[in-house]
Amino acid sequence: MADTSTNQTIVSLSKQLLRPDHEIIAFRKKQPLSVLDLKKQVLLLSQQLSKSPEKYWALTMQDSFNFVVGLFALFYSGKHPKLISAYHQEIKDDYDALLTDNQDIHQYDTHKRLININQLFNANSVEIADFINKDFSYSTLTLFTSGSTGLPKPIEKTVNQFEIEIQQLESNWGKLSADLIVASVSHQHMYGLTFKIMLSLMMKIPFVCEPIIYQEQLYQYNDKKFLYITSPAIIKTLDVKLPTINCDKVISAGGSLKYEEALSCKQNFNVLPDEIYGSTETGIIATRKQLHPNMPWQLFSEMELQQNGDQKTCLISPLLTRPELLNDKITIVDAQHFHLNGRSDKIIKISENRVSLTYIENKINQLPEVEEAIVIPLIQNNRTILGAIVKLSTSHSELSKEHNSYNLTQYFRLFLKDELSLIELPKKWRFVENLPKNMQGKTTYMELKSLFETNEKVMNKVFANELSVDKDTHHVNIELVIPTDLFWFKGHFPSQPLLPGVVQLNWVIYYTQKYFNANLSLSSIDVIKFQCPILPQDRLKLNLKWNEKEQRIDFSYSFIKPDNTLKIASSGKLTLCQ
């Protein structure tokens, strides 16, 4: 592996606290956080951790600066960080203790030691100068794959691997000229960890602590030369009608973009996206910028692809200790370029029979009623069965209104009984308006599996808490508090719960029906603007203005600030119909 000490343009991770005190690491709500702030917090937390015998710590932070503090403190204290969501009870045995900034995390596991970084107290004084001259006592962490057909798989990574990875990026892109990094993706996963955290620290570019999900939020950084770390899920929903945002570089990973989607990104940000191909297991593999349709991927330097007789592809990479078999179908163009042709088959065993989930998904997706279907294994009475999650096509969305879940299931099973064997035919079905996706834009097994939990368990909290209502004939103001255990936060997103836009719209329709006695459904979304994400425990005012003649509802969600002034979170106009 490469020696990072020979590269003078980047700062290794273990030397971050030796940077000048005044240098800015991050911005939290536009307030700068310096190297000195990082030193003090890491020292304070390390003193607390040194009193705890536990080796394996789940590191689950909402704030990205807190995440860096936690990661460094664990390394200095000789602990092993595990970037794992405490919301996933199925993998709680993978760690001994929790390090978090979320005050509500204790409700998920009350039997493990927990340190909340926001509740630290001053310990015995230790000279910062003595402390920061030490190297990390431990330099390995564990990430978890998103998991497509089962529980997230643990993957160990060393600090040295991350440093080599940043060297690879610098070798390909040169020294980046951006002066700020903004991200929609989570720092808890490989992509966000590499590009929002490691790239930022080692290339000395400050990052924004909060996730920036909505396009409108980016306008506040228009005076900066910023780099935007995002996903295909965000790029695919960009609104080309909004004013152009000048972005220094857009980086996208988690899936391939179509050429038209890359052009849409350029229209919105003035740059084509730099797409990244890689995985939690491998780290970065290749990149491309779609200058024309059918643009091939280009390997990062020192990487090599090899194919055997059955066209399976192995990666040889300086980030890996041995060759890694890739799970994608690949067509090699030359030594440095290739095309991706989709995922290889997802194979599982049911009653000793090999079953292809990909084959079953393809059969369901061929039906005109289906826009997208995903099939996952489930355990029922100690045996494996299959569950199907189906998003209906727009032209057949009325099926979910005309049939209850049982009848809709029978409807699809009838279509498929001659196409699939009994063992291949899904036993359980769920029909959804949208497939649940995490902050990386990926649909994961954990979130899909939760759709099959009993309604009593998962639907216990679907509305905000109403504190007060002020109503007249055509207006209503409702004061709301968003509970931390709201159902819609489940999987959206594990590291930073955000209230989905579709839920905000559903609440508007619900309260319109409730307070204006309007037994109507959504006809069209005329105007909508999401300006700021809504988080757990936010206090809001929902303002509704009802035009009965036009059957139109104007709405706005506003944060109620401590001084009782309002700040718009989202607003829009909806037309309803019978």
558 SS3 class: strand
Task: Please choose, from the candidates 93, 97, 84, 85, the residue with its C-alpha nearest in 3D space to the C-alpha of residue 156.
Answer: 84
C-alpha of 51 from chain center: 33
In sequence order, what are the residues at sequence separation of 6 or more whose Cβ sits closer than 8 angstroms to the Cβ of residue 483?
461, 464, 465, 536, 537
Q: Where are the beta strands (DSSP E) in 393-536?
A: 428-432, 465-471, 475-481, 521-530
562 SS3 class: coil
DSSP states along 18-79:
GS-TTSEEEEETTEEEEHHHHHHHHHHHHHHHTT----EEEEE-SSHHHHHHHHHHHHHTT-
In a domain, 437, yes or no: yes
Q: Are residues 126 and 188 in the same domain?
A: yes
Last residue of a domain, one of 190, 211, 232: 211
DSSP β-bridge partners for residue 481: 465, 539
Report the chain's mean pLDDT, rounded to a whole number. Answer: 86
Q: Are residues 437 and 331 in the same domain?
A: no
Phi, then psi, of 441 in degrees rounded to 5 = 80, 15
Cα 548 from Cα 191, distance rounded (Å)? 48
Q: How confident is the model over 322-356, as pLDDT tens digits? A: 999 998 889 999 999 999 987 777 778 786 677 88
Tokens of 529: 């603007």
Cα 525 from Cα 503, distance rounded (Å)? 14
Q: What is the pLDDT of residue 387?
A: 92
Domain of residue 68, residue span: 1-211
As a whole-number percent, the residues of the chain with pLDDT over 90 amount to 49
Cα 368 from Cα 371, distance rounded (Å)? 8
Cα 110 from Cα 107, distance rounded (Å)? 6
CATH code of 121's domain: 3.40.50.980
Phi, then psi, of 112 in degrees rounded to 5 = -115, 150
Cα 212 from Cα 532, distance rounded (Å)? 8
164 SS3 class: helix
In a domain, 457, yes or no: no
Percentages (nearest 5) of helix, strand, coil residues in the chain: 30, 30, 40
| Confidence grade of residue 6 (pLDDT, cut at 50, 70, 90) | very low
Q: Are residues 429 and 475 in the same domain?
A: no
Mean pLDDT calculated for residue range 45-61: 92
pLDDT at 273 > cutoff 90: yes
Q: Are residues 566 and 447 in the same domain?
A: no
Task: Please choose, from the candidates 159, 130, 116, the residue with its C-alpha nearest in 3D space to the C-alpha of residue 4.
Answer: 159
Q: Are residues 55 and 186 in the same domain?
A: yes
Q: How confident is the model over 286-319, as pLDDT tens digits? A: 999 999 999 999 999 889 999 877 778 999 999 9
CATH code of 325's domain: 3.40.50.12780
User: Given CA atoms 400, 406, 407, 409 in this order, what sign does their dihedral have?
Assistant: positive
Looking up tokens 């994961």, which residue turns up?
444
CATH code of 429's domain: 3.30.300.30
Last residue of a domain, one of 283, 318, 343: 343
| Confidence grade of residue 520 (pLDDT, cut at 50, 70, 90) | confident
| Confidence grade of residue 252 (pLDDT, cut at 50, 70, 90) | very high
In a domain, 458, yes or no: no
Residue 500: Cβ-neighbour burial (10 angstroms; 0-12, 13-18, 19+): middle
Q: Are residues 359 and 332 in the same domain?
A: no
Cα 287 from Cα 6, distance rounded (Å)? 25
Q: Are residues 219 and 72 in the same domain?
A: no
Q: Are residues 387 and 360 in the same domain?
A: yes
Last residue of a domain, one of 153, 180, 211: 211
pLDDT at 413 > cutoff 60: yes
458 within 8 A of 417, measured Cβ to Cβ: no
Q: How confident is the model over 446-479, as pLDDT tens digits? A: 778 878 875 444 444 678 888 888 888 889 999 9
Q: What is the pLDDT of residue 4?
A: 38
Query: What Å distances lie between residue 68 and 60, 244, 303, 408, 563, CA to CA?
Result: 11, 32, 29, 48, 32
Q: How confident is the model over 11-33, as pLDDT tens digits? A: 999 999 999 999 999 999 899 99
Q: Are residues 8 and 146 in the same domain?
A: yes
pLDDT at 441 > cutoff 80: no
Tokens of 232: 């295909």
Question: Peptide bond preceding 493: is omega within 30 degrees of 0, i.e. cis?
Answer: yes
Task: Please choose, from the candidates 63, 188, 90, the residue with its C-alpha nearest in 3D space to the C-alpha of residue 447.
Answer: 90
Q: How many domains does the chain have?
A: 4
